[in-house]
Homo-oligomer: A and B are copies of this chain.
Amino acid sequence: MIISTKKGTPQAEIDRIIDNFERQGLSVTLIRGTDYNVFGLVGDTTRIAEKDVLANPWVENVTRVSAPYKRANRLFHPEDTVVNAGGVPIGAGAPVAVMAGPCSVEGEAHMCQMARLVKQGGATLLRGGAYKPRTSPYSFQGLGTEGILALVKAREETGLPIVSELMDEAHIEEFERYVDLVQIGARNMQNFQLLKAVGKMTKPVLLKRGLANTVEEWIMSAEYIMAGGNENVILCERGIRTFETATRNTLDLSAVPVVKEKTHLPVVVDPSHATGDYKYVESMAIAAVAAGADGLEIEVHNDPQCAWSDGAQCLKPDRFAETIRKCRLVAAAIGRTM
C-alpha cells in the first residue's frame, strides 16, 4: 500500500503515521518529494481500508498495490480451478459448458420438453428460474418449490444437472438438496448475508456480476463465498449498465481475460441477459467462446412470445442448436472442445 501526504505535513504527523502502521506489523519506507511525502507499506495490508487512511486530512491519496483478495487470487493459486457442477467439469481444459433453458420454470411438462430440446441442441446443464427477481411487484414471481421439483424431474429424464437462482437464505436447504449449481443473481452480488450463507453450502455457486460492479468487487464477492469455506465458485459475466440503450446491458467481454489473469476461477458468459435481444445472442455467444469463456448461459424457449418472463431474449430451440453448432467450430479453431 502506498500513501502520499500533502506538502507541509508536520514531522510529528509523519512520525505518527509511521508509528501507527509499524504497530500493525507493517514495515514503512518514507520517500520525501518536493510537493508530497510518500509512504510505502510492506506486509499484509488486507485489513487496512483505504477509506480509513483517507480520513487523515494530511493524506492526499492511497493506492493498494496488492489485490484485496487472497483465496481467489491467481498470484497464490497459479493453477486454473475446475468446478464440478453435478458431474460436469467447468473451467481449465474442460469442454465449454452450455447452460440452457427457459428464463422461468413454467411447469413440469414444459420443463421436461425444454430439457429434451436444449439437450438435443447441445446443452450440458439445464437452467430455469423457480424464484424470480422481478423489478415489479405485479410481475410473475416464480413457481417456487414447484418449479424446483419440475427441474428435478427434467434432470431425471435427461440427465442434465440443474442450475437455478437462489434469492434468500430461507431456501438454502431446498437448494442444497435439489440443485446442482446454485446461481446468485446480479442484483444479489453484494447481498453479503446471502454470500456468507452459500459459503457454507456444499454445492458449487454461479456468481453473476452485478450491473454496476467492477471486476474487483465481483472477485471480492467470490472471496466472501470462498472465505466461508465453499471454494467452488464460477463467475458469470452478464452485461453491465452503461449509457447505451440499444442493448439491455453492455456485455463486457474483456472481463473474461481480465478475470482469468487475476483469478484461477472459471468464467462463463450469459449473452441473453447482456443483450436482452434474441437477435444479438448468437453473435455474442460465439464471441464469448472466442474470448476464452469456460461456458455459456443461454435462455431458450419454444414459444418466446408466450414465455412467462424475458421472452425478448430467448432463442427458439432451432436457433439455439445452430448457435451451439457455430460455437463448436469456433471452440475448435481456438483449440478447445465443446
Q: Is A312 an interface residue when CB atoms closer than 8 A count as contact?
A: yes
Question: Are A40 and B42 in contact, CB atoms less than 8 angstroms apart?
Answer: no
How far is A214 from B138 in the complex, measured between Cα atoms in Å? 19
Interface assignment of A9: CB less than 8 Å from any CB of chain B: no
Q: How many copies does the complex hold?
A: 4
A276 lies within 8 A of chain B by Cβ: yes
Q: B277 to A312, Cβ gap below 8 A?
A: no
B36 touches A38 (CB 8 A): no
Contact yes or no, A254 B280, CB < 8 A: yes
Q: Inside 8 A of A242's CB, which chain B residues have their CB?
A: 240, 242-243, 250, 252
Residues 284-298 of chain A, each 1 if its beta carbon lies under 8 Å from chain B, else 0: 101111111000000
A111, CB-defined interface residue at 8 Å: no
Listed stretches A62-70, A91-99, A156-164; interface member: A62-70
Residue A11 is within 8 A (CB to CB) of chain B in the complex: no
CB contact under 8 A between A36 and B66, given known A55-B307, A168-B169, A243-B243? yes
Rounded to whole angstroms, the CA-CA distance of A227 and B135 in the bound complex is 13
Pick the contact of A65: B33, B50, B134, B278 (CB < 8 A): B33
The interface stretch among A80-88, A120-128, A147-155, A215-223 is A215-223
B55→A246 contact, CB < 8 A: no
Interface residue? A15 (CB, 8 A): no
Check if B187 sits within 8 Å of A190, measured CB to CB. Answer: yes
Q: Is A167 an interface residue (CB 8 A)?
A: yes
Stretch from A174-182, A200-208, A329-337 at the B interface: A329-337
Residues on B with C-beta less than 8 A from A247 are 254, 258
What are the residues of chain B within 8 A of A35 when measuring CB–CB? 66, 75
Pick the contact of A51: B42, B276, B329 (CB < 8 A).
Answer: B276
Please list the 7 inter-chain residue pairs (A to B) with the smallest Cβ-Cβ separation, ordered nearest first.
A212-B212, A55-B311, A290-B290, A54-B312, A31-B40, A329-B333, A55-B304
A-B contact pairs, 30 of them (CB 8 A): A32-B42, A33-B66, A34-B42, A51-B310, A51-B311, A52-B311, A55-B304, A55-B314, A56-B305, A61-B63, A61-B65, A133-B190, A137-B195, A137-B196, A137-B220, A137-B227, A138-B227, A141-B192, A168-B193, A170-B193, A211-B212, A240-B243, A241-B243, A242-B252, A244-B252, A246-B254, A251-B254, A253-B253, A261-B279, A330-B334
